[in-house]
Amino acid sequence: MKTLETLVPLEFTLEAVQEGRTGKPLLQAEGRLLGTAFVWRVEEMKHFKKTDEAHLLLQRDRGTHPLLLAAGYVAPEAAARLKEAGIQFVDTAGNAFINHPPVLIWTTGKKPAEKAPLPRTGRIFRGAGLKIVFTLLCRPELAGKPYRDIAETAGVALGTAANTMAGLAERGFIVQAHKREKKLVRREELFGQWAAAYAETLRQKLLLGRFHGEREWWKGLQLDTAAAQWGGEVAAWKLTGYLKPETATLYTNRNRIAELVVANKLKKDPRGNVEILDRFWMREKERQEDDTVHPFLVYADLLAIGDQRTMETAKVIYERQLTEYFRED
């Protein structure tokens, strides 16, 4: 907001308010811009990333007042996407998009004076920690089980499970409920952090290969769900019918990839339209017949692609498929 003051005459007050399904405090700015009154919800992001855009799309439609992103830096490509989505922003470098008739501000391409150091994510949002968080989000009741059960279900070492649970407790995502029972809380906030970290770090490490398949080869294909499940755009299309897939994503076990490639006549191609990833989780009994992976993973896959159509589809999946998982007793 201080940066915005350097661009136009601005008077404002800033206060913390409770808003949104998580009850997470947001800032509200109220004032006058070139004499025109405004009330904005302000989302602060010191380190704004591409994977944050889906979250902003959700926030854009949740409140009664327009949203403003206050960021450390917004690159030109991201600025164009935010403008296209109707999300106002201002950063410390002096880039901004403000659409508050009769005021319109659009300036981009300015570089920050210095690059802020990236925050440390901690062990819970790296490698095996992400696998454990995914398991807990899918099955929150496991938070109250012995670490050995959590480790076996997530397919990680016992020590890794213990360390990750300690990290989650330290950040307030695991709390002591009645008696000795532990409980997973603030699930929506945890999911948002997990999805971004998965898309940015773990996903690429799970890639088993890229291939080329004939156009729409996947349509009508009856998958053996014991061998593979759809993720990404194909899964999103099956769940919502909202987009036309450009890349087919399959999750499979490492020992099943050869038969999958042969059966579907896929050809090795580093830039191909088919990607096959390692199915790293233990499938839930009630989901073993599903030919799509958990909606959590579909959403994170779409974040990794990160174009306008997949971000909009991620928003649809969030609202239709995911909100039920965030209800807490």
pLDDT digits 0-9 by tens, 145-155: 999 999 999 99
Q: Please report, rounded to a whole number, the percentage of residues in the chain having pLDDT higher than 90.
A: 68
Residue among 21, 53, 22, 45 at smallest CA distance from 200: 53
pLDDT band at 251 (very low <50, low <70, confident <90, very high): very high
What is the pLDDT, as a whole number, of residue 34?
84
Question: How far is it, in rounded angstroms, from Cα 203 to Cα 207?
Answer: 7
Segment 207-213 mean pLDDT: 96
**Paired strand residues for 207:** 277
Global pTM reads: 0.84
Question: How far is it, in rounded angstroms, from Cα 125 to Cα 189?
Answer: 13
Q: Which domains does the chain have, with CATH numbers?
A: 2-107 (no CATH), 123-185 (1.10.10.10), 203-326 (no CATH)
What is the pLDDT, as a whole number, of residue 61?
85
Q: Residue 160: which H helix or E strand, with range? A: helix 158-170
What is the pLDDT, as a whole number, of residue 6?
67
